Amino acid sequence: MRLLLIAFAFIGAVGLARGAERDSPRELPAGVLAVLEKADTLELLSLSPEKPGKKDDPKTLHGWTILGKTALKDAAVRSKVLNAVKKGVADNDGSVAKCFQPRHALRATHGGQTVALLICFQCLQIRVYDGDTSGVLTTRSPEPVLDKVLKDAGVPLAPKDRE
C-alpha cells in the first residue's frame, strides 16, 4: 500500500511539472517589456555559448562572454527585433530543452533600470534578468532576425551546434 501511495505521489508530481511547462508564460514580464520598449539604450549582443566565466567581468553578460554588440538606435530596427522576440515567446508551445547555451542577448536601460534577456535558441529558453531572474520560452523564429542585425553591424556570431 505504501509503495502504491509513493507511486501515485510521483505520478502526480510529474503531472504538475508537465502542467507547469504547458502553462509557462507566453509573454515577457510587463515591467521588462516596458523597459525594452521605452529603452534609452538598447543593445543586441552576440554571446559565446561556452561555459560561463566570472559574472563581474566587464567582458561578460551574467557570466557569458560577449563576442560583440550593437546599439539599436534606429526605431525600425528596434521594433523589428522586439516584435520578433515577443512573437517567439507568444508562439512557443511549451517545447523546451535543458542545455541553455545562449548565443544572443538584449540589454536595455530605461529610467535607471537595466534588464537583460539571454536567449538560447537551441533549447528555446530566455533567461530574464531585471533585478530578479526569471524565464520564458521562445521559438527559433526570432533567431534569423537577430542574426541579420548582428551580421549587418559586423558583429561575429558564435557557431551553431544544431542541424
Which residue, chain included where needed, has cell 510521483?
A: 10
Q: What is the pLDDT along the chain (163 residues), one digit of tens a residue?
A: 444 333 334 333 333 333 334 344 788 999 999 999 999 999 999 999 997 777 778 899 999 999 999 999 999 999 999 999 999 999 999 999 989 999 999 999 999 999 999 999 999 999 999 988 899 999 999 999 999 999 999 999 999 875 4
Note the pTM of the prediction, 2 decimals.
0.82
Closest CA to 74 of 104, 113, 115, 44: 44
Contacts of 154 (CB under 8 A, 6+ apart): 68
**Torsion, Cα of 28, 107, 134, 26 (10° steps):** 20
d(CA 88, CA 31): 18
**Domains contained in the chain, CATH given:** 25-152 (3.30.1490)
